[in-house]
Structure 1
Amino acid sequence: MVAPAWIGFALFVVTMPAHLLLEQADSLALAAVTLALIGGAYIGFGAADGRRSVFWSELAVALVFGAAAVAGLLWHWVALPLGLALHALWDLAHHNAVRLARVPHWYIPFCVVFDLMAAAFLVLLCTR
């Protein structure tokens, strides 16, 4: 599963420079949209899984990531990298999980690498 991790890193390298071109408020808005979208990916995995309880669980957790995105905009920027780091943990929770949505094995390392790199980048960007 090395290739998906490298693809996650490549996606990070390609997308994060946009934050350097934006004003901080716009950069945080982009990060919030990103967090909400990647949190929402699991809604699709939950729907594809076919188990109603899994779908509702994934939807509930996606709403938590959406709330973290809003909190990053309205409360404090730190909610955004925290949400990304927590999303990486959520990705890892799906590795060989029985009661969570079935996720393609390639997606987990891909997303963990992107989430953690993006979280660290946002911390560095907002504390400089």
Structure 2
Amino acid sequence: MSTQTAGRHDHAHSSVFSRRPVLTGVAVGIGSLLPHAFLPPDASLAFAAILIALIAGIYFGFAVVNGSGAQQMIEFNVSALFAVAGLLGLLYWPVLVAIAYFAHAAWDFAHHNRVRRALVEIPQWYVPWCVVIDVIVGAGLLVIWHRHGLL
């Protein structure tokens, strides 16, 4: 193992996110959801639509750094699908944005290294971390938007 690789590896293990992915995922999920309780419904919907596109784009970033050309194309196209889902939810059917968060949790599971799919390799801790965030935000949006009359 090179010094550069060892340094990155040690740094990753020193992260609270890598040591406690579920706990930090809960904290980030709740933190990501909190603004929606105070935003007007239209602003909440727009914020959630933008955020799902950004979240999905992270996998494209992993592919650019770690993946093959084929993996980059897969991640780029899937990221684009999530962006389109956010846009369609924003324009026509708000529940689609919440559904996209749950769909992204499934996409996270597809990247789990034990599944052995031909998808880009991501840090092992990232899967449970992102799943927890996606589920908290998706479920929370359904509750908040129902209370605000958006759904």
Structure 1 distance, partners of 2:76, 2:141, is 26
Structure 1 distance, partners of 2:30, 2:145, is 18
Task: Give runs of ≥4 in structure 1 deviating > 3 Å.
Answer: none
Q: Which moved more, 1:49-58 or 1:83-92?
A: 49-58
Structure 1 unmatched ranges of 5 or more:
none
Q: For residues 96-125 of structure 1, what are the alpha-carbon distances to aligned partners after superposition, in whole Å with 9 as ceiling and x for unaligned? A: 134101011111111000000100001111
Matches within 5 A, 1:1-128: 3-96=20-113, 97-128=116-147
Q: For residues 63-99 of structure 1, what are the alpha-carbon distances to aligned partners after superposition, in whole Å with 9 as ceiling and x for unaligned? A: 0100111011001111111100000000000001341
Structure 1 distance, partners of 2:22, 2:108, is 13
- Kept in 2, the 8 Å contact 1:46–1:54? The answer is yes
Q: Give secondary structure in 1 for the equivalent of 2:20.
A: helix
Larger Rg: 2
Deviation at 1:40, TM superposition (A): 0.5
Structure 2 distance, partners of 1:30, 1:16, is 10
Q: 1:75 to 1:9 in 2, by over 3 A?
A: same
RMSD: 1.3
- Kept in 2, the 8 Å contact 1:84–1:119? The answer is yes
- Kept in 2, the 8 Å contact 1:39–1:62? The answer is yes
Deviation at 1:50, TM superposition (A): 3.3
- Kept in 2, the 8 Å contact 1:33–1:69? The answer is yes
Structure 1 distance, partners of 2:141, 2:51, is 12
Q: Report % sequence identity.
A: 36
Q: Give secondary structure in 1 for the equivalent of 2:93.
A: coil
How many residues are treated as equivalent by the alignment? 128
TM-score between the two structures when normalised by the length of structure 2: 0.81
